[in-house]
Structure 1
Amino acid sequence: MSTNNKNENVLQETLIVLFYFFLIALVVTAVSACGSSSQSNSPSQPVAVPDSQGGGAPLPEEQEDFTLVSEVILSATGATSASETYASIESVFGEGSIEAPDLFAGDHTSTPHILEETDSVVGPHFVFLAHRDDDFNKGDQSDRQRNEIKTYDKSDDEVLGFEGETMQFEWYFYVASDMSLTSKFSHFFQLKARNDSEDNSNGNDDQPVITLSAVEKDSSGKELQVRHSVGFNSDGSRTSDVYLVRANWSDIADEWVKVFVQATFAEEGHFIMQITRVGDGATIIDINETNIDMWRGVSDEDFIRPKWGIYRSTAEVNKLRQQEERVKFADFVIRKGTL
């Protein structure tokens, strides 16, 4: 056989071997893409948590059919100064969207009340602080204290809910089992109305439409509650809140949970809330209320807005401990969409 023929055979065999290696590589890549999505829990990398569209309890049909129109995200960056943290919040929710005691004259101005920390579960997150003897309500020394962030009339329309709109809200949430509570209220999330009326013609904006709260019950200990209010009656008398769910505080305490809310803002609206533990994926709260009154507006200028943080009664101050309380939040997401 000539030297040229030998070289041609060697070349052909080499090309065949390379071709088979290429096919094997394609198969391995395809199997990896279709296989498990588990990730490392090493301290250097936050654990990946399934989003609201996957895992956990079966999803309501309305959630599955949600078509995204807009999405706004507020995430901590690990900033070490309060000025950076406050600036990042206001860059998303609008200037004046922070109601922290250190921002109001006559209140607890000597220390920042929203900090940033990082852990191995959710990564960078916000820490909201409350101090029993020092914090007030936007400078007002009343029977309550407030440290919240919100959207409001100076925020972009993408983070405000107008009549007939459907919105989703998502965030991660952490509370400690030893946090002190009273028989009054401690709110961590609110959907509040802006109602351009003083005559209670459609409720009013005094009472939140929805609250995620906690109380200390004398008989059963600490309780997590989701409440719904229809506002005041037309004669000015106050209505009672309706409990959509009452759960054990211990079901969420000392662990990160993910909260998902979907709301359609209408007189006969729709409200969904799911709270899922990050660690084991257990669903703690699963609410799906149809034909629920989710609207208080009387004009095209009215809207519903979210609030997060610590807003609590101090009427039973002796039940609150002097130690600084810390409530953590991460990765706020606000979406608008259609069903």
Structure 2
Amino acid sequence: MKSRFFLLILFTSISNIVNSQVVLNADGTTDTYSLINTVLANPNRNVVEVPDCNHEIFGDHITQEYDNDLKKNVFLFHIHVTPDNDRCKKFDRQRNEIKTYKDSPENLKATIGETVAYKWKFKLPKNFKPSSSFTHIHQIKAVGGPYASIPMISLTLRKGNPDKLELRYTPTKSQKTLDKVNLDLLKGNWIEVTEVIKFDNSGSYSIEIKNVENEKILFSYKNSPLDTWQDGADFARPKWGIYRSLKNKQDLQDEILKYANFSIEEIKDVVPVDVLKAKAERILLMSNSSNEIVFNNSGKYDAIELFDNSGRKISIEKRINKNKLNVSGFSKGLYFIVFKKDTLVNKVLKCYVK
């Protein structure tokens, strides 16, 4: 399909402003539940969902220890086939999770129009056994509205041949698998996840999963535009931990899933600032059927950079040819072409790829 580009030329500068970042790290000394609640909740609230009350003899189901590979303290999420269950109720599933909450600080709750980056590390045992039904280790869920009962985004571990990590998605109640990766690539290693979501009915989603030790990318996915807002929601929140089905207990075993370096970072989109009030004649509306953007090669700049709508810089080293930029294969969405002179922004080209 031919691409169409609507271009708005703005003589201005851009900024990619980080609004706030919240980090949760194990410290090896503070009471684990108190540490989690201090970061993710308002005072005197609880965002820890553990089966402690049904398994008091074991003690806390989230603990800390020093990890020799990361050379820092990490969190250990413990789950037992029995007697652990879901929030101390007899049920066909069990959970040991942390989350943000309706009473969490506002910058931990995603609202429509916001872009949020979620980052964390995790480590599965080499012999980890996922359920054939579901074993969620991360979710993005709506709070409020008709679709709050089902996560919009899930990272689900599933028994199969081979076992898999599945990226599951729905803007309503009809969930589907967007992509998957062989779970053997992840087992026994520290894994780093970076997930960026533009929360909107025409938003965007990207995720990258890599091996911490060798930095090899094991899984990546991105989609834009994508409906990343469940209508009627008050806000969206992240969850991490172990949430698995008990329908086939014979396939499961007691597990310890390790987590480290949780980060929630609200990012303002890359948007023009200090914009000169553009008159209609300064707006250029055009289509391009050759997958190339042609720009004025007037020599008023000495560098060109490209950013997507989440603020990430995109390499265009092999896409520039004189006064043409090749954008073939780009995901749909908004882009900013930045022209610089002596490291200062000289001009910005706002480009929407359809």
> TM (normalized to structure 2)?
0.69
**CA deviation string 1:276-332 (max 9, x = no partner):** 101111101111111211111426xx00000000000001111112xx300000010
RMSD over equivalenced CA pairs, Å: 1.6
Aligned twin of 1:128:
77
Aligned twin of 1:67:
17
Q: Write the distance in 1 (CA, Å) between the matches of 2:192 and 2:16.
A: 19
Aligned twin of 1:264:
198
Aligned twin of 2:65:
117
Q: Write the distance in 2 (CA, Å) between the matches of 1:74 and 1:282.
A: 25
Q: Write the distance in 2 (CA, Å) between the matches of 1:128 and 1:286.
A: 25
Q: Write the distance in 1 (CA, Å) between the matches of 2:126 and 2:181.
A: 14
- Work out whether 1:180 is the aligned partner of 2:121: no
Aligned twin of 1:243:
177
Give ranges in structure 2 of 5+ residues lacking alignment.
1-14, 270-354
Q: Equivalent residues in 2 for 1:167-206 (5 A)?
A: 167-195=116-144, 197=145, 200=146, 204-206=147-149
Aligned twin of 1:91:
38
Q: Write the distance in 1 (CA, Å) between the matches of 2:75 and 2:231.
A: 32
**CA deviation string 1:224-266 (max 9, x = no partner):** 111101223xxxxxx2x22122101111110001100100111
What is the DSSP-based 3-state SS (H/G/I as helix, E as strand, rest coil) of the residue aligned with 2:60? Answer: coil
What is the DSSP-based 3-state SS (H/G/I as helix, E as strand, rest coil) of the residue aligned with 2:184? Answer: helix
Aligned twin of 1:212:
155
Amino acid corresponding to residue 51 of structure 2 in structure 1? P
What is the DSSP-based 3-state SS (H/G/I as helix, E as strand, rest coil) of the residue aligned with 1:221? Answer: coil
Q: Write the distance in 1 (CA, Å) between the matches of 2:167 and 2:63.
A: 26
Q: Which of these residues, 303, 315, 328, is aligned with residue 258 of structure 2?
A: 328
What is the DSSP-based 3-state SS (H/G/I as helix, E as strand, rest coil) of the residue aligned with 2:250? Answer: helix
Residue 213 of structure 1, CA deviation: 1.1
What is the DSSP-based 3-state SS (H/G/I as helix, E as strand, rest coil) of the residue aligned with 2:163? Answer: strand
Residue 337 of structure 1, CA deviation: 1.1
Give ranges in structure 1 of 5+ residues lacking alignment.
1-64, 233-238
Q: Write the distance in 2 (CA, Å) between the matches of 1:187 and 1:93.
A: 20
What is the DSSP-based 3-state SS (H/G/I as helix, E as strand, rest coil) of the residue aligned with 1:274? Answer: strand
More strand by share: 2
Q: Write the distance in 1 (CA, Å) between the matches of 2:121 and 2:246.
A: 26
> TM (normalized to structure 1)?
0.71
Amino acid corresponding to residue 236 of structure 2 in structure 1? I
Q: Equivalent residues in 2 for 1:1-339 (5 A)?
A: 66-79=16-29, 84-94=31-41, 95-102=45-52, 104=53, 107-110=54-57, 111-122=59-70, 123-195=72-144, 197=145, 200=146, 204-217=147-160, 220-232=161-173, 239=174, 241-298=175-232, 302-321=234-253, 324-339=254-269
Q: Write the distance in 1 (CA, Å) between the matches of 2:240 and 2:187.
A: 17
Q: Write the distance in 1 (CA, Å) between the matches of 2:84 and 2:260.
A: 23
Residue 78 of structure 1, CA deviation: 1.2
Amino acid corresponding to residue 331 of structure 1 in structure 2? N
What is the DSSP-based 3-state SS (H/G/I as helix, E as strand, rest coil) of the residue aligned with 2:126? Answer: coil
Q: Write the distance in 2 (CA, Å) between the matches of 1:245 and 1:78.
A: 36
**CA deviation string 1:123-147 (max 9, x = no partner):** 1100000000110100111100000
Residue 121 of structure 1, CA deviation: 2.4
What is the DSSP-based 3-state SS (H/G/I as helix, E as strand, rest coil) of the residue aligned with 2:140? Answer: strand
Q: Write the distance in 2 (CA, Å) between the matches of 1:171 and 1:121.
A: 16
Residue 66 of structure 1, CA deviation: 4.7
Residue 169 of structure 1, CA deviation: 0.6
Q: Post-superposition, which runs of at least 4 consecutive aligned residues in structure 1 deviate over 4 A?
A: none
Residue 67 of structure 1, CA deviation: 2.6
Aligned twin of 1:17:
none
Aligned twin of 2:290:
none
Residue 184 of structure 1, CA deviation: 0.2
Q: Write the distance in 1 (CA, Å) between the matches of 2:36 and 2:129.
A: 27
Amino acid corresponding to residue 107 of structure 2 in structure 1? E
More helix by share: 1
Q: Write the distance in 1 (CA, Å) between the matches of 2:23 and 2:116.
A: 13
